[in-house]
Amino acid sequence: MATMPASASDLLKSFKLKTKQQELLIRVSILCLVYILAFITRLFSVLRYESMIHEFDPYFNYRTTLYLTENGFYDFWNWFDYESWYPLGRIVGGTLYPGLMVTAVLIYRILRFLRFAVHIREVCVLTAPFFASNTTLVAYFFGKEIWDSGAGLVAAILIAVCPGYISRSVAGSYDNEGVAIFALLFTFYVFVKAVNTGSLAWSLASAFGYFYMVSAWGGYVFIINLIPLYVLVLLITGRYSMRLYVAYNCMYILGMLLAMQIRFVGFQHVQSGEHMAAMGVFFLMQVFYFLDWVKHMLSDTKLFQAFLRITVTSAVAVGGIALGLGMVSGYISPWTGRFYSLLDPTYAKDHIPIIASVSEHQPTAWSSFMFDFHILLFLFPAGLYFCFKRLSDATIFIVMYGLTSMYFAGVMVRLILVATPAVCLISAIAVSTTVKNLTVLLRSKNKVVQTGSTKGSGGSKSSSKALLDQSQPFQKNGAIALLFGAFYLLSRYATHCTWVTSEAYSSPSIVLAARGAHGNRVIFDDYREAYFWLRQNTPQDAKVMSWWDYGYQITAMGNRTVIVDNNTWNNTHIATVGRAMSSYEDEAIEIIRSLDVDYVLVVFGGVTGYSSDDINKFLWMVRIGGGVFPVIKEPDYLVNGEYRVDKGAAPKMLNCLMYKLCYYRFGEMMTEYGKPPGYDRARGVEIGNKDVKLEHLEEAFTTSNWIVRIYRVKPANNRWWLNRYKFG
């Protein structure tokens, strides 16, 4: 009987964890929680709306994924899409980054293999949150690599809820960025690990990470330029090592060879100006290695200096000549407009209106930095300070990553996304270090107190306070206050992130929600109404002309052929559509007939007050159209440089096709109580041309809130029988 309690306590003791095990347990459980948190915080969109694909580009990705599941990889790779860019078509397999689709289909196949009856749409909707969760894990390991596991944990938590990242990875946002940020961070992490260890295995992993990134997103150019830059900085600061040599060479050569397997990228790694930096640094590494070897062989310093001078000069000269020859012969293509517009924010506005017309390509406003980063914006410089205080190969990397991506984030709104992981990591270093210092301060005081007092009274705080070290007054109080302050800030951050996620970043933008007069939620589902109408009630081979924004959605949801879509690969084709929209009806009908268009679709927000409609986008159509066809002149549509649609509008504006299609029979419509008929709620004016007559087009369908209007192109007068043949 007496032995029993003893053995029981032994058993208990054996179960009692050591401090290290406790720490591991806490760390793993925090990571698990963060993993789950990162996933569920992105489900706001599903709860608020439904499990659906969002926005514009994701619809293309969804459509291709569907094609991939149905027809298999080889058909997908060779897919020529007749349903877009009519009559040109699009070689889909060679003009997309297949990483996202392949990933989704792989997940789908695995789930199917495990006998989970999921639909591919659900997989697509949840791909981004799933990869966001994985990113938190990578952030943890990355943080651990560059600082310590505490910083890693904080980084994981910060990145899990950071709005800058959530904006592109909510459930339903099935876009390349969703998996690409994971791939980006993974590549960086593994590369830093390779540099730190000099291990061939890690650099091989980084090559594969890079390959995945190339397959997923065009932003891989950032990696292939940042890593050489980083290597260059290490070389200049005299941190050249064998580790770096192994890591970079293996990553570059293998990564390049792998990346060439992606058809869309092809031989760009050896032919395009954007990738030349990496190649230059690669050759520079060889020169460095060679010099190192020569230095090792030569004992004479003087001789070596002379040799060094000659070698470096000739190497630079050979490199320069090769580059010059390549450029002149056209073998190396010059930088693209997109790349220029990154380095020079004003470039796109002057030269490529089609890039400048996209709202997410605009320079970032301060408010959106605040919105997306919140306290990280202040923690970022603090983190940089800590990084500089403890410089190592890894911290240099994160500093460079942070600074360059911050610059790009300032150039384009959408690149905030790329900066987010760096900002989170650097801020995590700041938070972790500060909290660590403060707690160390607190604990060390306790130790002093404990050694000074008896063991029994040591625990009570009132007694320990009296015995505080007099040389540093209020140090403990200050530390406690600072700790509270830090936790307060972090809790504000969490609240802000949740609020932003639920309010701003969870809207699918296909379905619009507004508050009704009685505070109830009103849903405008006009887009899908129109697309579904197209899908069900038009001939299978009908061609639909609309502005390119809606191209992907029409093909994916309406299942009809479009003239232009969001791929924007052919500027002339888009300009033709822009020209048709901005011409008079009888001029436009020529273009419409030459493009064999059956239906014209416009988006109109005048009834509901939806402001991102075609009338507000119209000036871009004029600009893009005018860029190719000088007949279209922007001043014709403006009055004293002002864009208006009311009575004072320019006559060309009042009679162009877009105006007519948007406002056809709108003059009879009462939109708001107390306002005259034909009152445009999106622009707050009474329209100028209420008597819109259409000659060659007729209204085919208008959605219940007028957001989408579809017009049928009447056959020419001498071809009336076509009407019966086509629509009968």
Partner 1 sequence: MEAWIRARVTLALTLFALLFFVSRSSPPRQFVISNAERRIDLSSHIINVHLTLKVENTGTRPASEVVLTLTPTEVDHLAMVDALAIKGKRKKTTSVRLEVKPTELPDAPPIDAKYFTIYLADPLNSGESTTLEVLYVFMHFLEPFPAEIAQSESQLVFYHDTALILSPYHIKQQTTFIKTPSTKVESFIRVEPTNRVGTEIKYGPYEDCPPYSISPIHVHFENNSPFAVVEELVQEIEISHWGNIQVTEHYTLVHAGARHKGVFSRVDYQSRQFSNGASSFRYLLARLPARVHSVYYRDEIGNISSSHLRTNSLKSELEIEPRYPLFGGWKATFVIGYGLPLQDFLFESSDDKRYLNFTFGCPLIGMVVDKLTIKVVLPEGSTDPSPVVPFPVEHRLEAKYSSLDVIGRTVVVLEKKNFVPMHNSHFQVYYTFNPIFMLAEPLMLASAFFMFFVACVAYIHIDLSIRK
Residue 638, interface with partner 1 (CB under 8 A)? no
Distance CA 56, CA 59 (A): 6
Q: Which stretch binds partner 1 (CB under 8 A): 289-297, 390-398, 523-531, 621-629?
A: 523-531
* Residue in 134, 125, 192, 190 with CA at minimum distance from that of residue 159: 134
Bridge partners for 561 per DSSP: 543
* Residue in 204, 696, 147 with CA at minimum distance from that of residue 430: 147
**DSSP string covering 186-200:** HHHHHHHHHHHH--H
Residue 52, interface with partner 1 (CB under 8 A)? yes
Counting every residue, how long is the chain? 728
**∠ CA 86-216-198, rounded to 5°:** 155
Which DSSP symbol is given to 664?
T
Query: Shortest Cβ distance from residue 722 to partner 1 (Å)?
Result: 15
Work out which of 698, 720, 721, 725 binds partner 1, going by CB under 8 A.
698
Query: Shortest Cβ distance from residue 604 to partner 1 (Å)?
Result: 11
Return phi, psi of residue 345, to 5°: -60, -25
Distance CA 603, CA 706 (A): 8
Residue 161, interface with partner 1 (CB under 8 A)? no
Distance CA 448, CA 453 (A): 9
Q: Are 427 and 380 in contact (CB under 8 A)?
A: yes
Size of interface with partner 1, in residues (CB under 8 A): 30
Q: Which stretch binds partner 1 (CB under 8 A): 90-98, 114-122, 364-372, 424-432?
A: 114-122
The residue (of 111 and 448) whose beta carbon lies closer to partner 1 is 111
Query: Shortest Cβ distance from residue 156 to partner 1 (Å)?
Result: 21
**H or E segment to which residue 91 belongs:** strand 90-91
Query: Shortest Cβ distance from residue 599 to partner 1 (Å)?
Result: 12
Distance CA 252, CA 231 (A): 12
Work out which of 272, 507, 546, 703 binds partner 1, going by CB under 8 A.
703
> 39 in the Ramachandran plot: left (φ > 0), alpha (ψ -120 to 50) or beta?
alpha
Q: Are 553 and 511 in contact (CB under 8 A)?
A: no
Work out which of 128, 706, 713, 715 binds partner 1, going by CB under 8 A.
706
Instruction: Tell me the two tokens of residue 176.
Output: 């390349």
Bridge partners for 584 per DSSP: 656
The residue (of 541 and 699) whose beta carbon lies closer to partner 1 is 699
Query: Shortest Cβ distance from residue 532 to partner 1 (Å)?
Result: 5
The residue (of 19 and 536) whose beta carbon lies closer to partner 1 is 536
Q: E-assigned strands of 508-593? A: 512-515, 521-524, 543-545, 561-562
Residue 536, interface with partner 1 (CB under 8 A)? yes
Work out which of 116, 290, 331, 484 binds partner 1, going by CB under 8 A.
116
Question: What stretches of 198-264 show up as alpha helix (H) in DSSP?
Answer: 200-216, 220-236, 242-259
The residue (of 63 and 579) whose beta carbon lies closer to partner 1 is 63
Q: Are 193 and 202 in contact (CB under 8 A)?
A: yes
Work out which of 192, 557, 650, 654 binds partner 1, going by CB under 8 A.
557
**H or E segment to which residue 698 belongs:** strand 697-702
Work out which of 75, 360, 672, 699 binds partner 1, going by CB under 8 A.
699
Residue 117, interface with partner 1 (CB under 8 A)? yes
Query: Shortest Cβ distance from residue 646 to partner 1 (Å)?
Result: 20
Residue 115, interface with partner 1 (CB under 8 A)? yes
Residue 529, interface with partner 1 (CB under 8 A)? yes
Q: Which stretch binds partner 1 (CB under 8 A): 80-88, 112-120, 260-268, 412-420?
A: 112-120
The residue (of 63 and 361) whose beta carbon lies closer to partner 1 is 63
Work out which of 95, 305, 472, 537 binds partner 1, going by CB under 8 A.
537
Work out which of 523, 631, 639, 722 binds partner 1, going by CB under 8 A.
523
Work out which of 217, 220, 531, 659 binds partner 1, going by CB under 8 A.
531
Cα four-point dihedral sign 652, 653, 657, 660: negative
Residue 668, interface with partner 1 (CB under 8 A)? yes
Distance CA 251, CA 224 (A): 10
Residue 586, interface with partner 1 (CB under 8 A)? no
Query: Shortest Cβ distance from residue 56 to partner 1 (Å)?
Result: 14
Q: Are 171 and 45 in contact (CB under 8 A)?
A: yes
The residue (of 75 and 699) whose beta carbon lies closer to partner 1 is 699
Residues 6+ apart with CB under 8 A from 563: 85, 86, 543, 544, 545, 546, 551, 573, 577, 595, 597
Work out which of 669, 681, 686, 690 binds partner 1, going by CB under 8 A.
669
Residue 704, interface with partner 1 (CB under 8 A)? yes
* Residue in 369, 447, 448 with CA at minimum distance from that of residue 405: 369
Query: Shortest Cβ distance from residue 318 to partner 1 (Å)?
Result: 43
The residue (of 422 and 710) whose beta carbon lies closer to partner 1 is 710
Residue 67, interface with partner 1 (CB under 8 A)? no
**Residues making contact with partner 1 (CB under 8 A):** 49-50, 52, 115-117, 510-511, 523, 525, 528-529, 531-533, 535-537, 557, 665, 668-669, 698-704, 706
